[in-house]
Chains A and B, each alone.
Chain A
Amino acid sequence: MSRRRMRAVVALAGALTLTAGLAACGDGDEGGGGGGKTLNVLIGANTQYPQEFRAWQASISDKFKAQTGASVKFEEFATANDELTKIQTSVVSGTGPDVYAVGTTLTPTAYSTGAFVKLDDERWQKAGGRDRFVPATLGISGPDEQNQVGIPFVSRPFVMVYNTELLKAAGISKPATTWDELRQHAKQLTKGDQHGLAVAYKDNFDPWKFVWGMSVQAGNPLVDGRTARIQDPVVKQAYQTYFGWLTTDKVVDPAAIGWTNAQAIAAFAEGKTGYMALTSTTAAKALDGGKVKGKWSFALLPTVPPGATARPANGVEAASILSGDNLLVADYSKNQDLAFQFVKLITEQDAQLDYYKAVGSLPANAAALTSLQSDQKLVPVAQAAQKSVATPFTGAWADIQLAMTNVVVQSIPDLAKGSVGDAQLDGRLADAQKAAQSALDRAK
């Protein structure tokens, strides 16, 4: 008996030692002791310009050290999912990065965890004030002005890119401003092995952005309070337009049913496509590396819904989803003051321009964005940033965009056959509506 008890004691002691050891490791991570504190910042890795990104990190760290005496440690994540996992573990354990750079569509999800500092006037002042930002970029900082958590860092608005030579050859003087006009142009541009439009039907994110844009322009924001409005004629028309480019208008390369966004860009860069309908400034490098070098230009996405020549009264002039990164300060952070100083530093005009020069992400700082407009190529992008509209601010949004993308994913075999039947589309929209509504019902 006593032997057994001894065993138990030994086992328990072993367990305690191990746990204590692990806990000690955890404590070590937090660091920050001594004179100079360390601020931990989680930010998305930049695979396109890794060296420039590191150089920017080093220079901003130096500046921050000179200003505050504290150093900055950057931690990078590869994908939005990595970031979400990091947020989850940090939220549960109450330790982790002090500042997060979070993508706009992920901001409502991050907000719904309740683990980030809400910005009152005093905190906004510490961060440099609301006024320094492009007003549209504040659209997804929080559910309302009293409950904002996100401070805009960069904009990545979506735009179209078009082939200037092909459009000129087809006698088109300026890019389309309505979806119907875009279809018309694409038809004019399609001949032989040349296609009017490049669309990434197999992308995991592109499809919902099209449908959301067309729906909002037609007056349906998809989420109305706590009701999902996906089973709606306007949404159906958006899907039909999106599918129709391939099935009825035949202005898209049939191979596009297998394309992700990067593949669609690559196809456009071959120089045999008139428009590529959804991209951002980060594609510039890929475009300049292709046959379209010197022959492409950005343009605003159409802002008049399909089947109309003017926006209806309740339609919104949404040129792009509000896209980019917000900075969030963790409420478990013991360095909140430092965190806000850091946020202030990297959202200042000069720092934002430096960041743009390093990696090509557009400033959220209004003065910095204005100063960039001397570059003709960027004018439409800057406009898109100003005309960006936030997706609905609800923790359910991740599920909703997933459900909307799923409609396209499941329709691809039909697309390949040449038509997406009315009944099938209705069925898939009903599934999406159900998924979206159940996500909204669970929202707290």
Chain B
Amino acid sequence: MTDDSTATGRRRRGVSARQRPLWLLAPGGVLMTLIIVIPLLLALYISLIDLDQYTLRRWLDAPFIGLSNFTEAFGSGLPHSIWISVSFAVIATAATVPFGIAAAVATQNAYRGRALVRAVFLIPYVLPSFVVATVWRTMLQPDGIVNTVLAKAGVAGGLWLSGPKSYWTLVLVEIWAAWPFIYLMALAGLQSVDHEVYEASAIDGADWWPKLTRVVLPYLRGPVLLACLLATLNHINNFTLPYVLFGAPAPDDVNVMPMIVYVTSFQGLRFGLSAAMAIVSLLLVAIPLFAYLRALRLDVHEDGDRT
């Protein structure tokens, strides 16, 4: 907080910190309270009570059971699901980055048909997840087109939608559907590179490789890191893709967190337990977010550093 003397000093130039019309934020604040804070608190409360179909009707009277839901969650399939979700999300993100950057670099300079190429690149991203999953599920049937083609090449495709390979199916389809996001962010980063920088490096006689690694990529670090963070969170939270690809109950190898929360909540009707799982998943997602915000200090406002 700035002290009063500096506030008075600034008065001439504008409004002081104290005088800022903070009440104008009230509508936003109210909406945030209604849409985010209250449901979050409610979820937290539900995770502490024994709420299921038997107690749902008088949910305020549902027995308070402290952390029992959390212990039960960790005793059941949740740790396995966390492992699946996190590893899947990290692999998917790591694999999409080279594709995204390569595509962005490839469409950076103007050439004939560039608009078309850019549009084509975006197709996987604009298709609804449900459609993507349905099409892939059809292609990956035991007697589907993928296995037919593989068989012609002399490779036995085997099972894509059940068993251990289902994990890699999920990763593969997610990569296919999600890489354009990295591409978009990288493209936006490239647009922000000053033209003078290219000219300067050209004058210095830099070849394309040093130009790429020393000039272009450093500019992309920020946007691509942000893209990685957002993409990882999206992967972790993706429900439609595994649900449509594999159905519920899911094979153990793809029983990701959203799936286990969904099954616990809407098939097992154990709302308390599933709320506990959702809270754990929220905390998990908050870790990379927090680390990123600390690292990049996105929360710094224009007045300068904050502690």
Contacts and interface: CB of A to CB of B under 8 A. Distances in A.
Do A and B come together as binding partners? yes
Interface of A: 3, 6-7, 10-11, 14-15, 18-19, 81, 84-85, 88, 91-92, 109, 112-115, 202, 204, 253-255, 257-258, 260, 395, 398-399, 402, 405-406, 409-410, 412-413, 416, 439, 442-444
B269 A398 contact: yes
9 contacts: A113-B53, A113-B54, A113-B56, A254-B143, A258-B144, A395-B269, A399-B268, A413-B164, A442-B54
A367 to B, nearest CB: 35
Given A7-B22, A412-B162, A442-B54, 13 more contacts: A7-B23, A14-B29, A18-B31, A88-B56, A91-B56, A114-B57, A255-B141, A257-B142, A398-B268, A412-B163, A413-B251, A439-B268, A444-B54
A109 B53 contact: yes
A410 B26 contact: no
Contact of A416 (B159, B248, B268): B159
Nearest to B52: A442
Contacts of B33: 15
Contacts of A115: 57
Contact of B57 (A19, A92, A253, A439): A92
A170 to B, nearest CB: 24
Given A10-B23, A85-B266, A112-B53, A204 B248 contact: yes
B30 A258 contact: no
Contacts of A443: 54
A410 B252 contact: yes
B249 A402 contact: yes
Pairs of residues from A and B, 4 with the lowest C-beta to C-beta distance, nearest first = A413-B163, A412-B162, A255-B143, A444-B54
Nearest to A412: B162
Contacts of B266: 81, 84-85
B226 interface: no
A416 B156 CA distance: 12
B158 A258 contact: no
Contacts of A257: 142, 159, 162
Contact of B268 (A88, A402, A410): A402
Interface string B57-68: 101000000000
B250 interface: yes
B34 interface: yes
B283 to A, nearest CB: 25
Contacts of A14: 26-27, 29-30
Interface of B: 18, 22-23, 26-27, 29-31, 33-34, 52-57, 59, 141-144, 158-159, 161-164, 247-252, 263, 266-269
Contact of A412 (B52, B251, B263): B251
B184 to A, nearest CB: 32
A84 B26 CA distance: 36
Contacts of A109: 53, 269
A254 B22 CA distance: 68
Given A7-B22, A258-B143, A395-B53, A202 B161 contact: yes
Contacts of A204: 247-249
Nearest to B28: A14
B259 to A, nearest CB: 12
Contacts of A399: 267-268
A442 to B, nearest CB: 7
A442 B65 CA distance: 14
A413 B34 contact: no
A246 B155 CA distance: 23
Contacts of A3: 18
A432 B55 CA distance: 24
Nearest to B263: A402
Considering residues A6, A10, A85, which has the most beta carbons from chain B within 10 angstroms of its beta carbon?
A10
A18 B249 contact: no
Nearest to B60: A92
Nearest to A114: B57
B267 A398 contact: yes
Contacts of B56: 88, 91-92, 113
B30 A15 contact: yes
B76 to A, nearest CB: 9
B65 to A, nearest CB: 12
A292 B103 CA distance: 50
Given A7-B22, A18-B34, A416-B159, A113 B29 contact: no
Given A109-B269, A258-B142, A412-B251, A15 B52 contact: no
Contacts of A85: 266
Contacts of B248: 204
B78 to A, nearest CB: 15
Nearest to B58: A114
A258 B267 contact: no
